[in-house]
Chain A
Amino acid sequence: MTSEDTDIVLENVTFTYEDAKRPAVKNINLTVRKGEKILVTGPSGAGKTTLCRMLNGLIPHFFYGNLVGKVVIRGLDTVSNDITLLSAKAGLVFQNPEEQLVCPTVADEIAFGPENLCVPREEIERRVVEGLELARLGKYADVNPYSLSGGQEQSLCVASIVAMHPEILVLDEPTANLDSLGTRLVHSIITRLIESEQKTLVIVSHNLSELASYVDRIVVFNGGEKVLEGKPAEVFAQSESLHKIGLAPPQISRLALMLKNSGVDLLRDGFPPFTLEEAYSRIVPLLEKTRSQKLTPKPSSSKQENSVTVEEPIVVTQNLTHVYEGTTVEAVKDLNVTIGRGEFVGIIGQNGSGKTTLVKHFDGLLRPTKGKVFINGKDTTTVQASELAKTVGYCFQNPDHQMVAFKVRDEVQFGLKNIGIRKEEVTKRTIEALDEVGMGYAIDEYVYELSQGERQKIAVASLLVMRPQILIVDEPTTGQDPVTSMRMFELLRDLNAKGSTIIIVSHNLDLVARFVKRVIVMKDGQILYDGTPRGAFSRPEMLEATSCNPPEMTRFGQMLSRYGIPNDILTIEEMHDVLVSRLGVS
């Protein structure tokens, strides 16, 4: 390959951030051809963001440290060339859209990059129109970017970078902070770019299912090193290795590998499928063979099976309505919810559907505009939030918002000190709470030296220490890698098994389906569904109305329903067992 054919070359690159003890990336060799699309993945802390920062010169010109090796972007060495020149070659979109928007209106936001690059005014206007069209924000040209939804904000960020006409587009976890509706919107823009433009594309994502079919190559990072590289099917064939480092290959690939061990071969040339469509086309001929034997599709669970009986109510809302100060919109409307002691409840729905507004009433952070909320039979309006905190623990989405101390020990003890617990008891409970979340080893560590996943656990421990009867966890998997997310749900499941009532707000429907015992689906401040997960996910029309994607296995089951496959399967294991039985293999 000649240098004219390559857009990105990394030669033996090692980078250590200033003041860091260990390098963020080690001995990286990576070459990306012109027009090539690659997906970079890896668990949290793998070095993915560091790689992105190196591609447009933020490293070493903004983030200082020790850079060894050579990074060349379209023939320009990133050490000897200025960041502004490099960012014109490689446009970088970051994870959090709110941290990238700097202009007063949507149109100005798109124009900002071209203006900096001295593009003539007429051309800027043309690019603004193009950008608005790409981001599907034509109606919002003069609107403040902050008034857009998360998905629209991120689409705007992508359009703003594309408007600079960089030859290389780098997207660093562009959907990590978005709900499923936002994710769909941004993915549709990315796929449009892939299909219509000849740009070189580097996408960093944990979401392997959605984007794998659009890329030429997947590069896997772990612990700062490149550990795996290849075509998507080749990489997904290494399911076990991926899982070990905290990644989740598409569920359909894992299913195919499990089925192979049970005698059902969906592999081609030894590689598993990685899209539902691909898997469908491979399994249908096998199902067709047995079609004459069993054709009756299993009906979805009945209404009765899906309802949940509540014993010993601990949270009760009566006609709860909330209108935020300064607005007239009812964020939640006339809600009647009863949650029993010891339940594990998942609340799902789009951003703005009222999930967080509902749960913030449970610990008194919000007071009802109309209606009542009772916790353990007590009206929350008669109890101070600080008093309710003894019964209800609320874990915020961003653990950093909770951290008040430098040391883990002080952090966990903060709540206990607020309620005046004896010193010996404080020490005892601190150790117990940290052990409970598996963080006993970190008691004397500095909070901000821990990973985000670890800080999330400390945030949970700092609530557990108060021994709340109810634990509310708001979006614990945002920005986390699949295995860290899974571990958080496992932790919550274990706490629930010990008797805590767990209420979780999440967009991660695969994990919700796997762990919770009851699902509340919300839309526009109202409850669309309240019952078992199986019942919720077997209603595609309802989920579509809330723009929630059912779990991958549920969707696969629904695709295969005419072959008698149930439409409410939640996990890979279930699907495996059903298919093995349906195909008559042992």
Chain B
Amino acid sequence: MSFDYQPGNTLFHKLDPRTKFIVFGFIVVIAISVWDPIMLGLLGFFVYSWSIVAGIRERANKVVIKFLPIFAFGYVLNIAFAEVPEPAMFYLIPAWQFFPVSYGRLVFAAGVLGRIVSIFLGVWIVLVVTPITSMILAFVKSKMPPEIALGIGIGMASVPSFLREGKIIMEAQKARAHKTDFKNPIKKFMAIVPVVIPLIWATLRRSQSIAVAIQARAFGYDLTGRTYRTELAMRRADWSFIILFASLFVLVRLVAYYYPFYVSYNFTYSLLKSLFHI
């Protein structure tokens, strides 16, 4: 399934889960500091390149394709709600003068799309290369109370379970003449509504089972004295990654402070204007 853990021995698999979370945190902060589609596109490509290093490129391609309708839906919505001070070329709903479309809005929405895809890919890669128990143990090592660590870990583990159960439930509803295979993203979204009840039920049960299984294996018996077959520890690669992303973050913030034009959508927009004489 799309979000299930994939075992491996790559650099990304070997990183301490804390490093993965910190790096992901930097990605999020960088992504929300920038509005420029080119920079966000580069960030997205950079995050995507992790999937190559982690040996999960094919899965990454599939998951992006699978979520393409949602990304497209988000793009269209952002065109409508973009705060771009320029007149509309036309309205998608002319009768109400609603949903204005302009070049600036298209560029702005492309930036937001880049942000969404970067964050989505970032969280996806972290989930796929980090087993749930490592996540929980990493939280505990970071002095987080075990109950909270368990809760967050199980919350994260419920994402793949949610999707797995969702697929089966959709099939079960199809067998009762419920249509789900719409091309229109709004109809597709509405078709999901009847599967919400069984999905929530199944996910809650699954999450509870994982919690029970972990407790039944004496998790929390003695967290300070716990031993490790493979010790969770911050190694050189972990620190290198953190320093790299911290530097990138500082760089982006400096650019944003001194040269705000380059991180706003106007940078790409003005490039396009000069290239295509808009």
Q: Give the residues in chain A near B216, CB-CB below 8 Å.
A: 56, 58, 83, 87, 91-92, 94, 100
Does B50 count as interface, using CB distance less than 8 angstroms? no
> By the criterion CB–CB under 8 Å, are B209 and A99 in contact?
yes
Contact between A116 and B218, CB atoms less than 8 A apart? yes
Report the minimum CB–CB distance from B127 to chain A (whole Å). 12
With an 8 A cutoff between CB atoms, is A117 at the interface? Answer: yes
Interface residues on B, range: 35 or more
* Residues of the B chain whose Cβ atoms lie less than 8 Å from the Cβ of A415: 176-178
Please tell me if B187 contacts chain A, counting CB pairs below 8 Å.
no
Closest to B197 in A: A404
Known A-B contacts A99-B210, A104-B131, A419-B177; the reply to A144 vs B5 at CB < 8 A is: yes
Stretch touching chain B among A67-75, A267-275, A287-295, A381-389: A381-389
Given the known interface contacts A404-B198, A448-B201, A462-B176, the answer about A94 and B212 at a Cβ–Cβ threshold of 8 Å is: yes
1/0 per residue, CB under 8 A from A, across B187-201: the answer is 000000011011001
Give the Cβ gap from A27 to chain B, nearest Cβ, in Å: 26
Distance (whole angstroms) from the CB of A418 to the closest CB of chain B: 4
Enumerate B1-24 residues with CB–CB distance to A below 8 Å: 4-7
Q: Kindly state whether residue A88 has any CB partner on chain B within 8 Å.
A: yes
A85 and B7 within 8 A (CB): no
A159 to B75 Cα, complex, angstroms? 50
Asked whether A152 is an interface residue with its Cβ less than 8 Å from the other chain, the reply is no
Q: Please, which residue of chain A has its CB at the minimum distance from the CB of B129?
A: A104
A402 near B176 with CB under 8 A, answer yes
Contacts of B174 on A, CB cut-off 8 Å? 364-365, 385-386, 389
Contact A116 B217 (CB under 8 A): yes
Cα-based distance from A115 to B140 in the complex (angstroms): 14
List CB contacts (< 8 Å) of A396-419 with chain B: 396, 398, 400-406, 414-415, 418-419
B residues 169-190 in Cβ contact with A at 8 Å: 169, 171-179, 181
Interface size class of A (residues with CB under 8 A): 35 or more
Interface contact B178-A88, CB-CB below 8 Å: no
- Per-position 1/0 for B211-235, Cβ under 8 A of A: 1111111111110011111100000
Checking B7, B176, B194, B209 against A466 with a beta-carbon cut-off of 8 angstroms, the contacting residue is B176
| Contact call A102/B202, Cβ cutoff below 8 A | no
Give CA–CA (A364, B174) in the complex, Å. Answer: 9
Which residues from 88 to 147 on chain A have a C-beta closer than 8 Å to any C-beta of chain B?
88, 91-92, 94, 96, 99-105, 107-108, 111-121, 124-125, 128, 142-144, 146
Query: Which B residues touch A418, using CB under 8 A?
Result: 176-179
Tell whether, in the assembled complex, residue A104 and residue B212 are in contact, meaning their CB atoms are under 8 Å apart: no
Task: Report Cα–Cα, A417/B227, bound state, in Å.
Answer: 57
Q: In the assembled complex, which residues on chain A have CB atoms less than 8 Å from the CB atom of B177? A: 386-387, 389-390, 415, 418-419, 466
Whether A400 touches B198, Cβ cut-off 8 Å, given contacts A104-B131, A112-B133, A386-B174, is yes
CB distance from B162 to the nearest CB of A (A): 13
Cβ of A326 < 8 Å from any Cβ of B?
A: yes
Partner of B221, one of A118, A389, A396: A118
- Asked whether A403 lies within 8 Å of B62 as measured between CB atoms, the reply is no
CB pair B229 A111 closer than 8 Å:
yes
B25-65 near A? 1/0 per residue, CB < 8 Å: 00000000000000000000000000000000000001000
- Flag if B229 contacts A62 (CB, 8 Å): no
Most buried by B among A87, A164, A363, A466: A87
Bound-complex Cα distance A406 to B201 (A): 11
Q: Report whether B7 and A406 are in contact in the complex, using a CB–CB cutoff of 8 Å.
A: no
Residues in A whose Cβ lies below 8 Å from that of B220: 84, 116
Of all chain B residues, the one with the shortest Cβ separation from A119 is B227
A354-B126 Cα distance, complex, nearest whole Å: 34
Q: Shortest distance in angstroms between A100's beta carbon and chain B's nearest beta carbon? A: 4
Contact A401 to B172, CB < 8 A, known contacts A102-B214, A115-B227, A390-B177? yes
Indicate if the CB atoms of B168 and A396 lie closer than 8 Å: yes
**Contact between B173 and A402, CB atoms less than 8 A apart:** yes
Q: Closest CB-CB distance, A298 to chain B, in whole Å?
A: 44
Task: List A residues at the B interface (Cβ < 8 Å).
Answer: 56, 58, 61-62, 83-85, 87-88, 91-92, 94, 96, 99-105, 107-108, 111-121, 124-125, 128, 142-144, 146, 160-161, 164, 326, 363-365, 384-387, 389-390, 392-394, 396, 398, 400-406, 414-415, 418-419, 448, 462-463, 466
List chain B positions with a Cβ less than 8 A from chain A.
4-7, 62, 131-134, 157, 165, 168-169, 171-179, 181, 194-195, 197-198, 201-202, 205-206, 209-222, 225-230
Q: A56-B216, A87-B218 known; 19 other A-B pairs, CB under 8 Å?
A: A62-B215, A94-B213, A101-B213, A107-B229, A113-B218, A114-B227, A117-B222, A118-B226, A118-B227, A144-B7, A164-B217, A363-B175, A384-B181, A392-B175, A396-B172, A401-B165, A401-B172, A401-B198, A404-B195
List 4 A-B pairs, minimum CB-CB distance, nearest first: A99-B209, A104-B131, A415-B176, A389-B177
